[in-house]
Amino acid sequence: MAEIRNPNQQGSGGGGQDSKTILTFTALFLVILFGMQYFREKSAPPQQQTKQEQSSASAASTAPHPAEPPANVPAARPAARQASDVIASTATTTVVENELYRITFTNRGAQVTSWVLKKYKDNDGKPLDLVNQKAAEKFGYPLSLYTYDAGLRDALAKAMYVPSATGTLNAPGILSFDYSSGGLAVHKTFSFDSSYVLHAKVTVTEDGSPVQALLAWPAGFGDQVTLQDYSSSGNEIATSQGGKANATKYKKVANGDTLRGPFDWAGVGDLYFAAIFLPDAPGNATLVTLHNTMTVPKDAVHPDPAQVESVSVLGAAIGDSAGPLSIRMYVGPKALNVLESIHSTTGPTLEHVVDFGWFGVVAKPLFLGMQFLYDHVVPNWGWAILLLTVFINLAMLPTRFQTMKSSLKMQRIQPQMEAIKAKYAKFKATDPRKQDMQKEMFALQKSEGVNMFGGCIPMLISYPLLYAFYEVLENVIELRHAHWLWLHDLSAPDPSYILPVLVVVSLFLMQYITPSPGMDPTQQKMMAFAMPVFFGFIVLHYGAGLSLYWAGSNFISIVQQLVINRTGMGREMRELALKRAAKKKGNVVNARR
């Protein structure tokens, strides 16, 4: 099904699926596999975008601040403390916990210093902390406040809030923070339940007048460690307006830009996790995109201070143009079944936070089928991939027979086709009479019921399926750290190279056993050796799940082809191939004499 093979090619004069057709489809596949990576990033940006409201917005990052500040550090403003001020004298932490997460708040800035997801592990096997500590120290912590006034933003991040509770708070529950000094008053309330969604209310006033302060997730995610993590297709600003989802990839995100609502939802994500805001008043929602940079080691396993590279750290902040903010927030995995259960105020769910790209119409059904097999048949993602591969190949079996029939008909009329070519051989390619040759050949094919494109059907189906599987394996969190036999992560390349080797072997075997009576020997050798090696090299750099699907599909196709070769149609194909080979050999011998 997904094999790169030469199913029953004809000679160059046959007008059918010859080697040029295969090379054309191979080139098409490569364009899809690589070129789409460029075009898929051209997702339409949110519909309305304006510049920052104030010139000070160019200062995008909050000043660095420690997760656990020393006690008795005065607030940034004001210098004088009055009796009516609400300021904590010491640093405290509050841990909010349910079955899904453990969130640690600090009262300095009333923000989050740790957001651990209990059901997910980092690359070291420890519970995953979604706070990117290195980036947060530079650009701000989750649930901090963003304002267009950089000085006020810094003051709010350093202010010592008075929490409603310290220690551990088990969800469902409510945690609030208050701060008041020198006319600046802030109240932040967070409500938690048993899901990944929390509700936040933020009110900021200065001398009694409302100040627009945006709730922020400013500095990426804790699972971003390597260069590849920061440059993944999922590193993006995601929005939904009027039920239409948009994704702006990291390269196109501007730092400090203000995007006007209404927003069904909006936020930031990486390949596997997301922080998405769902405003209670979508029409008043204002989104600020954050794009900072920092350096990370080129080799995360063996870091060298001299070998670093700059990466993009994305963030987002959302507020209410009316002043006080009331909003829900989803922080968790980009798991399709979870996202589909979360509805915005205007109706659309978060399902499109998972971006399957242009092939979503194929990729999503593939994933849902794989998920069904995982949930109801075999609780292992590797075996679910292979089982789905079997079903797909069985469904495509009729097209394989159709290809053989088309090829056989073409070979039966090959002598007549050669006679037509000989009739017009004396004319140059630019001679108008050459067109008469093509007309005669097409007329012959039509009269004999030959469909010159009949052999293309498997490729027209298999290549989109292959790319759709690539989209699935690149985007679904379910395959992250999924085990299968010797593999510990189906979303990462096979470190032992076993699956890429199987892809090469299976492609070669498929070329070898598929009848190719019209293929030029030189071209046949190129297809049989060069193409398998080329595609094997490609899959070295993609997730093992893709190699598993491709190799499994090829071996299933080999079994199907062996069965077809034993039919009367298959035997006739082999006989025609032998006759043409003998004829070509005789022509070569005569030419030498």
Asked whether residue 331 falls in the same domain as residue 398, the answer is no
Q: Is residue 528 in some structural domain? A: yes
Are 431 and 536 within one domain?
no
570 and 461 both lie in a single domain: yes
pLDDT winner (highest mean) among 54-58, 104-108, 120-124, 203-207: 104-108
pLDDT for the residue numbered 34: 55
Note whether residue 505 is domain-resident: yes
Residues 102 and 154 in one domain: yes
Residue ending a domain, among 310, 326, 354, is 354
What's the confidence (pLDDT) of residue 592?
53
Give the pLDDT score at 46: 41
> Which residue has better confidence, 75 or 477?
477
Q: Is residue 144 part of a domain?
A: yes
Calculate what percentage of the chain has a pLDDT beyond 90.
45
pLDDT in tens, 86-108: 999 999 999 999 999 999 999 99
Classify residue 302: in a domain, yes or no. Answer: yes
Q: Is 60 exceeded by the pLDDT of residue 587? A: no
Residue 522 has pLDDT above 70, yes or no: no
Q: How far is CA 229 from CA 61, 86, 123, 428, in A?
A: 21, 42, 12, 57
pTM: 0.76
Residues 6+ apart with CB under 8 A from 325: 200, 201, 202, 203, 213, 214, 215, 279, 318, 319
DSSP letter for each residue of 541-552: TS-HHHHHHHHH
| pLDDT, tens only, 281-336 | 999 999 999 999 999 988 877 888 888 899 999 999 999 988 899 999 999 999 99
Same domain, 329 and 191: yes
Same domain, 459 and 440: no
Identify whether residues 393 and 349 lie together within a single domain.
Answer: no
Q: Which two tokens stand for residue 428?
A: 């140059």
The answer as to whether 132 is a domain residue is: yes
CB atoms inside a 10 Å sphere around CB 365: 12
324 and 374, same domain (yes or no):
no
**CATH code assigned at 324:** 2.70.98.90
Summarize pLDDT for 362-405 with one digit per residue, the tens: 888 889 999 999 999 999 999 999 999 999 888 877 777 777 77
CB 193 within 8 A of CB 99: no
- Could you tell me if residue 6 is inside a domain? no
What pLDDT was estimated at residue 83? 52
In a domain, 8, yes or no: no
The verdict on 114 and 255 lying in the same domain is: yes
Task: Answer yes or no: do 529 and 425 share one domain.
Answer: no
More confidently predicted of 274 and 66: 274
Q: What is the pLDDT of residues 218-261, one digit of tens each?
A: 999 999 988 888 888 788 999 999 999 999 999 999 999 999 98
Statement to judge: residues 175 and 289 lie in one domain: yes
Report yes or no on 50 lying in a domain. Answer: no
Domain limits for position 164: 60-354
Give the torsion sign (CA, 73, 79, 80, 85).
negative
Whether the predicted pLDDT of 16 surpasses 60: no
The verdict on 263 and 375 lying in the same domain is no
Tokens of 484: 């299968």
Answer with the one of 447, 464, 492 that is the final residue of a domain: 447
Domain count, the chain: 3
Question: Out of 207-221, 507-521, 556-570, which region has the weakest mean confidence (pLDDT)?
Answer: 507-521
Mean pLDDT over the full length of the chain? 80
